[in-house]
Amino acid sequence: MSKKAAPSFSKALFSGVVTDDLLFPYPKLSREEAENLDIMRDTFRKFADDTIDAHLIDEQARLPDKVLQGLKELGFMGMTIPEKYDGFGLSVTAYVKMLDLIAGYDAGVVLTIGAHLSIGLKALLQFGNEEQKKKYLPKLASGEMVAAYCLTEPGAGSDAAGIKTRAVRDEKQGCYILNGSKLWITNGGFADFFTVFAKEPINGPDGEVKDKISAFIVTRDMPGVSSGKAEHKMGIRGSSTAAIFFEDVKVPFENQLGEPGRGFKIAMEVLNSGRLGLAGGSLGGLKAVFKQAIAHIKQRSQFEKTLDQFEMIQEKIGQIAIDIFASESMIYMTTALLDRGDVDYSLESAMCKIRATEVTWNGVNECLQMVGGLGYMKEYPYERAVRDARINPIFEGTNEILRMFVALSGLQERGEYLRKLGKALRGPIKGFGLLTDYATSWVKERVSTDRIREVHSSLNTPKVNFEIWAKNFHFAVERALIHNGKNIIYREMIQERLADAAIDLYAMITTISRVDTLINEKGEAKCQREIRLCNAFADQAWRRVRRNLLMIDHNLDRDIKEISSFVVEEGSYPFEVQ
């Protein structure tokens, strides 16, 4: 993200500024792209109906050759690669919509494509030079080469800056010598193209040599590259997950991606955009299993009533629909911000990933619950959906780390502002390794406003609640900074509440924008269902925001920490009923 980029909506919100002009009207695909997307979806449905058997894929723990071959031949491995390099040039919005559809057929299939396009070759696309792009992108578009993203190591998971893989320049041989290993690499078993992050000794301006992370293109045909055995996994079993080993691999100088020492930034940028695909794919999986559950509920009778007539079932169905509606409103707003190319979306994409993966996790569990004992049986798709969904809150940044990222990036924004105003805070979160842009100067210039634009009267309650809670959110941010000072970086439970409040506020405003835009287009009479969904979601959301903000000042954090500390010291749960 360049410094010129317009600041993120949510970062500004931490500073009490509502930049609603970024989010209204709700964006829409061009007619041409919508038409292409329709045809692509149709192609995928036909292909998938004929070839993808999710039950079988799960059991055999691999994609049948005809599935992977078909995806390549039809061009799905090149969806987002520009036409110039023989790809299809799809926008991120349309791409994520495709992932939503594909995920409904099989989690392993969508992950194979996502690991290739969303992260595997993304660094090449964003940071590669023209020669590198010309050399590899056409092969990656056709599927002749499949890509993998190699960051995680046995000793470096969430703390990605701690990687040990090293690349040392060997001037005599005219190449880098790469050594190390990478863990749990999606597509690892068969990928030919690896985006590898490794530490490189770099001369600092003071003459001191320091290890910094750089990015490299490594291909399987280079001697010394090997992959481990396929990992046995709980879910997403159709996708290949394996360790990758590099032993004295000679990597040509020209295979360095981006500038030396800028690898960490590259790694984070790739994940920032990749998370949106994960968020969209996650919801796609939920929608597919939700559909099956609804079909079952409509025909299953107990006590002479079909299940859909029971209020506790209605509650679950209604809740899942509300949650999907709000999550997709966030996701497709954010993909459009990314497609615009001039807005910082790093916080928003993390928020989408957190919300969508948790909505999915809750939703697939509730679907299983609604169909009862049958849901527990292997011959039905529910237990598989639960297993498949479980990885989502873990990979591409655990939801815990991402909550810290959201809160601390937002607080940093506000902290910088306060510091510049000469308040007591001094560089409260300096050195925190996550990537973020500053919007401070921009925020300072804005006249603070706590109102958003007029929306259709049927959405007035959500609008007013958004305004009230956006304002209270800003006050809570100030209080949290003043009370905790720089210790805020250790107060994860406060960070968590701020992040959750920020997510709900973003979900509220994007849902309002979506429905308001729809009403403008179709008229109120045709949008009654959407209006109901928006109002229901906003009501639930502001109550959660209130609770989270209240708990910043009134909470049990100290007790919880104390309890955790003595349980950990004991090593197990130490009590028994007398």
Partner 1 sequence: MNIAVCIKQVPDTETRIKLSEDRSRVVEDDINFIMNPYDEFAVEEALKLQEKNGGEVTYISLGPDRVSSALRSALAMGGDKAIHIKTDKVPEDPQVTAQALTAVLKETSYDLVLLGKQAIDDDHAQMPSLLAEKLGWPAVTVVVKLMVENGRVKAEREIDGAHEIVESSLPAIIGTQRGLNEPRYASLKGIMRAKKIQIEERTLTLQPSSLSVAGFEFPPAKQAGKIVGKDASAVPELLRLLHEEAKVI
Q: How far is the CB of 319 from partner 1 (least distance, A)?
A: 23
Phi-psi region of 194 (alpha: psi -120 to 50; beta: other; left: phi over 0): beta
Segments in 300-398 forming alpha helices (H): 311-340, 346-371, 382-389
Q: How far is the CB of 44 from partner 1 (least distance, A)?
A: 8
462: how many CB neighbours lie within 10 A of its CB? 25
Which residue, 74 or 493, has its beta carbon nearer to partner 1? Answer: 74
Phi-psi region of 26 (alpha: psi -120 to 50; beta: other; left: phi over 0): beta
Return phi, psi of residue 336, to 5°.
-70, -35
Residues designated catalytic: 396
Q: How far is the CB of 84 from partner 1 (least distance, A)?
A: 12
Q: How far is the CB of 46 from partner 1 (least distance, A)?
A: 6
Which residue, 36 or 91, has its beta carbon nearer to partner 1? Answer: 36
Q: What six digits make up the tokens of 146? A: 């499949």
Q: How far is the CB of 174 from partner 1 (least distance, A)?
A: 38
Which residue, 75 or 201, has its beta carbon nearer to partner 1? Answer: 75
Which residue, 203 or 301, has its beta carbon nearer to partner 1? Answer: 301
Q: What six digits make up the tokens of 121? A: 């070759």
Residue 9, judged by CB atoms within 10 A of its CB (0-12, 13-18, 19+), counts as buried
Helices (H) and strands (E) in the chain, counts: 18, 10
Q: What six digits make up the tokens of 394? A: 């873990």
In 3D, which of 98, 117, 87 has the Cα closest to residue 43? 98
In the complex, which residues of this chain contact partner 1 (CB under 8 A)? 32, 35-36, 38-40, 42-43, 46-47, 73-76, 78-79, 83, 88, 526
Q: What six digits make up the tokens of 189? A: 């078993």
Q: Which residues pair with 227 in a beta bridge?
A: 244
- Give yes or no for a contact between 23 and 6, defined as CB atoms under 8 angstroms apart: no
Return phi, psi of residue 253, to 5°.
-55, -40
Tokens 């920032």 belong to residue:
272
DSSP helix/strand/coil, 281: helix
Q: How far is the CB of 542 from partner 1 (least distance, A)?
A: 30
Which residue, 118 or 272, has its beta carbon nearer to partner 1? Answer: 118
Which residue, 39 or 568, has its beta carbon nearer to partner 1? Answer: 39
In 3D, which of 459, 542, 547 has the Cα closest to residue 506? 542
